[in-house]
A and B are shown apart, each in its own frame.
Chain A
Amino acid sequence: MLEISELTVHYGLHEALHEVSIAVAPGEIVVVLGANGAGKSTLLKATMGMVRPTRGHVTLDGLDLTSLIRRRLTHQIVEQGLVLVPERGGTFTDLTVQENLTLGAFPRRARAREAELRAFALELFPRLKERLHQRVGTMSGGEQRMVAVARALLSAPRFLLLDEPTLGLAPVLAKQLLRVLPQIAAEGIGILLVEQNAQLSLSVAQRGAVLSNGHLVHAASAAELRDDPAVRAAYLGSE
């Protein structure tokens, strides 16, 4: 169980996140929606210790990660099994696909299962099989995103955090990418997904939450959110 409780983050004077609590169960997909500036990225970054929270706790399968977060020891958080695919990144663009995957298995806990996870990742993204020695920076946006997720899988995550994975992707590719998520979840990996593409992500998730101005304003099952006019209003404003 990944439990984020009362997480609060300030950027200087600006309160980016206010006492947000979210839980993700193993094998579950939870999506966080909200307009830009709502605090979605901040939520993930704080969970990984990339920004320092003012208040709040994070527990991973009973292990309290809060002190690691406060000391910004992101690499140790990854070692514990919490892996983030960041916005617009998640790959080392100057290195090849193969090298990225190898680095995915850098955490010690991932080394034992490297062969198995590599096979799994390449099965999910067969396109990468032919491009193992290509520099990631020369690949298209969609392919780069695949490499990022594949790399994250090789780190043997217990929980996977994804920050706007479909950003800048053509609709077909976005669909392809998000469709992979249930297959990952089926392996028992819990997924916390931050997305702009509300409709599509709500179709793969079980539950969803809406952030607005750093506050958690709405949480419900994905089905309920899908038909909710409030979600539409949050993105397009009301007429």
Chain B
Amino acid sequence: MASLLDALVTGLVYGGVYALLALGLTLQYGVARILNLAYGDFLIAAAVFATLLYQHYQLSPLVSLVLVAPISFLVHLLVYHLVFVQLERRSGSWRAMEASSILLAFGLSFVVSGAMLAIFGGKLFSYSYLLVPVHILGSVVPANRLLAFVLALVFGGIAYLLLVRTRIGTAIRAIAVDPDGAPLAGIDVRRWAGITFAFGGIICAAGGVLISMFQTFNVPMGVSFTLKALVVVIMGGVGNAVGALVAGLILGVTESFVARYVSPGLTLAAVYGLFVLAVLTMRTGILGRALR
């Protein structure tokens, strides 16, 4: 029984972080229309950043969070305008652009992970931060995970409020829903799509720092994170913040249960299982065109 609760709580903690990650990705795909296959790699980069700062300068990851945000924003903004926008200008049809954009993102993934591999190789990163046990809901959770969970929800909540309560946030949602109609409301789609992409990058980096607080990782794990974020987005529906939260929690809990009761080596298989389920129960391609 304790083990069940344990798995549940762990799952929820991870789920909260996955939900945050999905939010960033759904912004990038839903608004900027870029399927960022390098998402997980950028996440790892931020995680490495936080780890190194902690290991060499004893800087708390909370400080890293603050530092990494503007860096990530700028990097992503540059990537958007220098790479993807230029691609759009050169493409003939929509289909061709979609294909080119995927391949470019794929290449970007190799560039980012390749750069890190060149410097760090495949070594594992981890650091101990806040390894204080906390008793909650009848089980024991390390404080770092709890903190990560809380922060994930806080960031997600702030992002959600920004999207829903501000004029700019509403404009961004409008772009996701109707990119052709948005200019008629005076919205500069390209500019705001770029800013949104970069904002998604901030969320990605924040997620990376949070994960570094409690999980051991290495560079090749980027792919897994990208995939999990993608699956949560698909399950929850593109652009659906609440859906992302629910789906993220489901994914986290499923993964946790599979790790505990089946085998830790099959967690990705569980993720794929959810993916297949989500796709098969979908009647129309939600990810394909419509966004809300």
Whether chain A touches chain B in the assembled complex (some CB pair under 8 Å)? yes
Q: Closest Cβ of chain A: how far from B165's Cβ, in Å?
A: 10
Taken together as a complex, chains A and B put the C-alpha atoms of A216 and B238 apart, in Å, by 45
Q: Closest Cβ of chain A: how far from B237's Cβ, in Å?
A: 12
Say whether B177 contacts A94, CB under 8 Å: yes
Is A151 interfacial (CB-CB < 8 Å)? Answer: yes
Among B8-16, B46-54, B183-191, the stretch that binds chain A is B183-191
User: Which of B178, B181, B187 meets A106, CB within 8 Å?
Assistant: B187
Is A83 interfacial (CB-CB < 8 Å)? Answer: yes
Say whether B177 contacts A103, CB under 8 Å: no
Say whether A48 contacts B184, CB under 8 Å: yes
Q: Interface readout for B19-62 with A: 1 if CB under 8 Å, 0 if not?
A: 00000000000000000000000000000000000000000000
User: Contacts of A104 on B, CB cut-off 8 Å?
Assistant: 185
Say whether A95 contacts B170, CB under 8 Å: yes
Say whether A75 contacts B177, CB under 8 Å: no
Say whether B181 contacts A103, CB under 8 Å: no
Say whether A75 contacts B186, CB under 8 Å: yes
Say whether B188 contacts A95, CB under 8 Å: no
Q: Closest Cβ of chain B: how far from A86's Cβ, in Å?
A: 7
User: Contacts of A84 on B, CB cut-off 8 Å?
Assistant: 184
Is B230 interfacial (CB-CB < 8 Å)? Answer: no
Say whether A74 contacts B184, CB under 8 Å: yes
Say whether B170 contacts A99, CB under 8 Å: yes
User: Contacts of A47 on B, CB cut-off 8 Å?
Assistant: none
Taken together as a complex, chains A and B put the C-alpha atoms of A95 and B185 apart, in Å, by 14
Say whether A78 contacts B177, CB under 8 Å: no
Query: A79 — nearest CB in chain B belongs to which residue?
Result: B186
Q: Closest Cβ of chain A: how far from B172's Cβ, in Å?
A: 11
Is B258 interfacial (CB-CB < 8 Å)? Answer: no
Is B171 interfacial (CB-CB < 8 Å)? Answer: yes
User: Contacts of A76 on B, CB cut-off 8 Å?
Assistant: 188
Restricting to B162-186, which residues have a CB under 8 Å from any CB of A?
Answer: 167, 170-171, 173-174, 177-178, 181-186
Q: Interface readout for A90-112 with B: 1 if CB under 8 Å, 0 if not?
A: 10111100010011111100100
Is A89 interfacial (CB-CB < 8 Å)? Answer: yes
User: Contacts of B184 on A, CB cut-off 8 Å?
Assistant: 48, 74, 78, 83-84, 86, 90
In the complex, given contacts A78-B183, A103-B185, what are 6 additional A-B residue pairs having Cβ atoms less than 8 angstroms apart? Answer: A74-B183, A75-B187, A78-B186, A99-B173, A103-B174, A110-B186
| Nearest 10 pairs of A and B residues by beta carbon | A107-B186, A74-B183, A78-B186, A75-B183, A94-B292, A94-B177, A103-B185, A92-B174, A75-B188, A106-B186
A-B contact pairs, 26 of them (CB 8 A): A48-B184, A50-B183, A75-B185, A75-B186, A75-B187, A75-B189, A76-B188, A78-B186, A83-B184, A86-B181, A86-B184, A90-B181, A90-B184, A92-B181, A95-B170, A95-B173, A95-B177, A99-B170, A99-B173, A102-B167, A102-B170, A103-B174, A106-B187, A110-B186, A151-B185, A155-B186
